Amino acid sequence: MNERSMQHSGKSILKTLYARHSVRTYAPTPLDSTTVQTLLDAAVHAPTAMHEEPWAFVVVQDQALLQRLSDLAKPLFVEEVRHRNAQGAGHSFDHFTRPDFNIFHGANTLIIICAKPLGPFVAADCWLAAENLMLAASAVGLGSCVIGSAVAAINIHKVKTELGIPNEYSAIAPIIVGVPSGDTPASARKEPLILSWKK
């Protein structure tokens, strides 16, 4: 690869990285299996400690199942937030108590990154895979968003059974993916907080 093509490639990667943001409104357009497979292939190219590659994936595109999962997850998450707020956390999630609110924001594809919790870096590996997946989604014009509020519900035994997650696996990173509906502005970011820079 010559210097010019390397510079072009680098600019393209940075453009994708800065374009990625959480999308919370989706068109009803379904994702085909080839597109989903492309995202999974990107995910497994993430860095992994000691080359363990601990990740495994569940793809949910059944809209009725996503609705049931949302309905189950909301009260669990509200209770978790109330507990955290009692300890001094300050976020409000009142919209989670609305019957019409769906935690998956109308996306028709949920990809759950799972792993056996056997090593100290398993969760980190899965989150690195999640970032790869979301960057790949951004690169092909799709939106994505991590749905942390679904984790507790997904890890309930009966839910894991329905989703086909073996008992020895835990859900770590649930991510919705889909075609964005309209423009979603990116959130502003703070400047990097540099605690130290020793030269």
The 10 Å Cβ neighbour count of residue 110 is: 25
> What is residue 7's predicted lDDT score, i.e. its pLDDT?
61
Determine the pLDDT at residue 10. 64
Q: Tens of pLDDT along the chain (199 residues)?
A: 455 665 666 678 899 999 999 999 999 999 999 999 999 999 999 999 999 999 999 999 999 999 999 999 999 999 988 887 766 656 668 889 899 999 999 999 999 999 998 889 999 999 999 999 999 999 999 999 999 999 999 999 999 999 999 999 999 999 999 999 988 888 889 999 999 999 9
Is 75 strand, coil or helix? helix
pLDDT at residue 90 in the model: 61
pLDDT at residue number 2: 57
Rounded-to-5 percentages of helix, strand, coil across the chain: 45, 15, 40
CATH code: domain 23-178 is 3.40.109.10
Q: For the packed helices 33-43 and 122-139, what is the interaxial angle rounded to 10 degrees? A: 130
Task: Quote the Cα angle for 47-40-159, to 5°.
Answer: 105
- CA gap 194, 153 in Å, rounded: 37
Which neighbouring-strand residues pair with 170? 115
C-beta of residue 194 within 8 angstroms of C-beta of residue 158: no
Amino acid at 87: Q
H or E stretch at 3: helix 3-19
Q: What is the pLDDT of residue 165?
A: 98
Cβ distance 75 to 101 under 8 Å?
no
For 18, the token pair is 């800065």
pLDDT at residue 8 in the model: 60
